[in-house]
Amino acid sequence: ARDEADAAGSPALVARALGLAGVATAKRGDYERGLATVRSGLSLALEHELTKEAAEVYQRLGTALESAAEYAGARDALDTAIGLCERSGDEGQEEGCVACMAYVLRELGDWDRAAELARELVGAEPGPGTLVVADGVLGAIEGFRGNARRARPLLERSLSTALRLGVI
């Protein structure tokens, strides 16, 4: 994708391709190289004032940092991504960023805020990719708190959606 984006002369596509490549590299365990790749895509998006692409690549940075268990950095990157989504009006991207934020906040132990975000997402009837995360985060928190009756349907729906989407 990067080669084709370069050939097309599109900084927006190059920035997005670098973001995706960096996340894939980080998820394979090469965090340093993955983060450097995402950051180069982010620099390109910012240099060209590509707000929507910068929001997407900030989300990718959050995901790469989350993969490296750097949750505070992931929270900061996702906070920036959400702000850029609000500025650009990209509600679909914003849903994804908020879902990622809910997951990161759960990992940081901010269960109240994570649950609040997840409930807002579920109430907004998001797409299945966002719903799988929101249900999983909210279900896990309910389970951690000993609320098995509330946790079970959320976790079952999350699992069903994840299997249907092939994300497990």
Gap between the Cα atoms of 150 and 153, Å rounded? 7
pTM comes to 0.90
Tokens encoding 48:
């060209």
Residue 62 has pLDDT above 90, yes or no: yes
Gap between the Cα atoms of 23 and 165, Å rounded? 19
Structure confidence by residue, pLDDT tens digits, 32-47: 999 999 999 999 999 9
- The alpha carbon of residue 123 and the mean position of all alpha carbons in its chain are separated, in whole angstroms, by 19
Which of helix, strand or coil describes residue 69? coil
